Structure 1
Amino acid sequence: MQVTIRAAKASLSKLIDAALSGEEVVIAKGRKPVVKIVPIVRSCFKIGLLKGQVIGDGPDFLKPMDEGALAVWKGID
C-alpha cells in the first residue's frame, strides 16, 4: 500500500496496524516513495538459552581479583 504524507497523517494508526499485520506500507511525497513503515522485530530473551552447551563454569565476576590482575586492570606497572 502506498499513501501520501497527508493521508498518512490522517490514518497513522491504521497504517501501523497494516504494517504489523505484514502489509508493506510506503509513504510518498507526491508520487515519489520516500519512507516505508516496518514493524520492529522483537525477540524474547530466554534465561538459560545456552545451558549445557557452554563448557566449564566461566569466570566468577563477583570473586575479588588477585593483586596482579587488579594492577593490570588499573594500569599500574
Structure 2
Amino acid sequence: MHRIVHAEVDSDGNLRPIEPLELPPGSRVLVTVSSETEVSETALLSEAALRRDWDRPEEDAAWSHLHPAS
C-alpha cells in the first residue's frame, strides 16, 4: 500500500513527518523532494494558449503511439 506523508527537514538534515507516523523497523520508504519555487508569470500566462494548441485531434493523433491501447 502506498500513502503520502508530508514531512519537513530539520536543521540537522533529519526527515520529520508533520503528523505521527508509525512504521516497523526496516520499512522502506520513497522520498520525493518538492521544490516550492515560484512559477514564472510567463509560464502561467502561456498555459491557456498551450492548452488550446495541445487539446486538438491532430495532437492526439501525433502522440497516440505513446498511449497504451484501451
Query: Do the two structures share a fold, i.e. TM-score over 0.5?
Result: no
Structure whose alpha-carbon radius of gyration is higher: 1
- Which TM-score applies when normalising by structure 1? 0.25
- Which TM-score applies when normalising by structure 2? 0.27
Larger RCO: 1 or 2 (CA < 8 Å, sep 6+): 1
Q: Name the structure with the higher strand share.
A: 1
